[in-house]
Amino acid sequence: MSESEPGLPERVPDDWAGQPVPAGPPEPATAPVPGTPLASPSNSPLDPVKGFGVTFRTMFKPVVTEDYPRNPRPPASRYHGRHQLNRHPDGLEKCVGCELCAWACPADAIFVEGADNTEEARFSPGERYAKNYQINYLRCIGCGLCIEACPTRSLTMTNEYELADDERQRLIWTKDMLLAPLADGMEQPPHPMRLGDEQDYYANGPDFLRDLETRQAGGAR
C-alpha cells in the first residue's frame, strides 16, 4: 500500500483501468525506404471505368437542368422576391409612412421617413406618406414579416428574383425604384383624392380596383 499525505485520498495506481503501463518510451516509427513503390489498394483494369460509372449512367437520361438565363423557369406564384410599393386606382400611394414594416424587419433592412400630407401636396389618402423609403437588399432575408406588418397592403413582394449586383450601392433600393408603375387611369402624385375621402380609399379600395380592372379589360377588347 502506497503512502499518502494526511488529509488526501490514497493515490490511485497508474494501471487502475487494467491497462499495462509501458516499460519505456515508444519505439520510433520505421521510415519507408527511398525508392520503394507504395502498395496499391487495387490493380484491376476496370478501376478507371468504375470512376466514370455515374457519368455513363446519366449520359442517356433526360436533361433536368434549366436553360438559365435564356429560358428561365417561372417561380411559384407566392414566391417572395423583390418588394413593391403599391398604389391606389387613382395613383395615390398606399403607404402612409407608419414605419411598421421597418419595426417588423428582423434584419433592420428597411428605412422609412414619414412626412405630413397637405391639401396642396397630397401623396396618399392618409395624414402621412413615406417621404423617404429604402430597402437594403444586402441585409434583406426575404422573410416577408414586413408584408404581414403593413396595415394598408402597400408593401408586397413580387416574383422578381434577379437582384444580384457587383456594386453595393445599387443594392439599396429607394422609393422611386420600389413604387409600382402608373397603370391606365392613374395620375402621378401629388394630387387630390379622386375616389372620395380616406374612408372610401381603405374601405372600398378593392371595389375601386376591380372596377378599374373591368374598365381596362373592356378597353382592351
Task: Give the pLDDT confidence of 77-87 residue by residue, as tens digits.
Answer: 889 999 999 99
CATH number of residue 169's parent domain: 3.30.70.3270
Q: Judge whether residue 33 has pLDDT over 70.
A: no
| Higher local confidence (pLDDT), 37 or 109 | 109
- Let me know if residue 118 belongs to a domain: yes
Task: State what percent of residues in the chain have pLDDT above 90.
Answer: 48
pTM: 0.65
- Let me know if residue 12 belongs to a domain: no
- Let me know if residue 184 belongs to a domain: yes
- Let me know if residue 199 belongs to a domain: yes
Domain containing 119: what range?
83-220
Number of domains in the chain: 1
**Contact yes or no for 157/76 (Cβ under 8 A):** no
- Let me know if residue 55 belongs to a domain: no
Cα distance between residue 128 and residue 96, in whole Å: 5
